[in-house]
Amino acid sequence: MKKFKMFWNFDEEEKYLKDMAWQGYIFKKYSIFGFCHFESGKPQNLNYKIDYRIFKDKKEFDNYIALFEDAGWKHVYGTKNSGNQYFLPMNEKAGTDIFSDRVSAAARYKTLYRICLANIACFIFYLCIILFSVGGDLSKLAFLTPGLWERTGRAFWSAFFFELPFVLLRMTPLVFFMTVIVFYGYWGSKAKKNYEAVMNEDTDKE
């Protein structure tokens, strides 16, 4: 079974996966665009824990997984660059959580926030390249047929529809990059809010 899911909060996602396992849907993986894959199984109590990390190389990723395994946590999903890393306890060594203090649990949101900022910077750079390529004149991406808007009737519509696919093609990267920037901006602001919420939480976890 596949479900489209997006989470801004790690605790909510952990709870969601736990609830699904309780209903007999065992989390397998995430695929592109946030599709969450489940396999049917017997209903069980699975205490999912999520870390957020991106690794510089495969060796460091292996070292990370080995540390968790040594400590009793099985890495169930995540890749070197996926960010979210999913764990399940495999023995009594694991304890109840992968974090023993609030600061390190909150640090996940800080990492996420930084990665959102880096992505925004990267896509703004792409936007600048587009702007530069048209000499700052975005109208060059729109309809270029001379005198198009003066035409009427069939002459207008045939020219309009003839050029429309080209206009869409020229505009696509621009619209795509802008959408991505807004998306990361939203995600980053959520991450920042969550970070502050965890840091200000009144809890006995110190």
Partner 1 sequence: MNLEKHLPLTETTYYILLSLLEPGHGYAVMQKAEELSGGRVRIAAGTMYGALENLLKQKLIASVPSSDPRRKMYKTTEEGARVLKLEVQRLKHMVDIYNRIQGDE
- Regarding 115 and contact with partner 1 (CB under 8 A), the answer is no
**Smallest distance from the beta carbon of 199 to partner 1, in angstroms?**
15
Short-list 171, 157, 190, 183, CA closest to 34:
183
Contact 61, 80 (CB under 8 A): yes
- Regarding 80 and contact with partner 1 (CB under 8 A), the answer is no
Nearer to partner 1, 71 or 180 (CB): 71
Q: How many residues bind partner 1 (CB under 8 A)?
A: 25
- Regarding 181 and contact with partner 1 (CB under 8 A), the answer is no
Please spell the DSSP secondary structure of 63-82, one letter per residue. HHHHHHHHTTEEEEE--TTT
Please spell the DSSP secondary structure of 76-136, one letter per residue. EE--TTTEEEEEEE-SGGG-S-S-SSHHHHHHHHHHHHHHHHHHHHHHHHHHHHHHHHTTT
Stretch that binds partner 1, among 55-63, 129-137, 149-157, 164-172 (CB under 8 A): 55-63
From candidates 100, 133, 158, 179, binder to partner 1 by CB under 8 A: 100
- Regarding 201 and contact with partner 1 (CB under 8 A), the answer is no
Nearer to partner 1, 18 or 102 (CB): 102
DSSP state of 3: E
For the chain, helix (H) and strand (E) counts, in that order, are 4, 6
Rule CB under 8 A: which residues touch partner 1? 49, 51, 53, 60, 62-64, 66-68, 70-73, 87, 95, 97-101, 103-105, 107
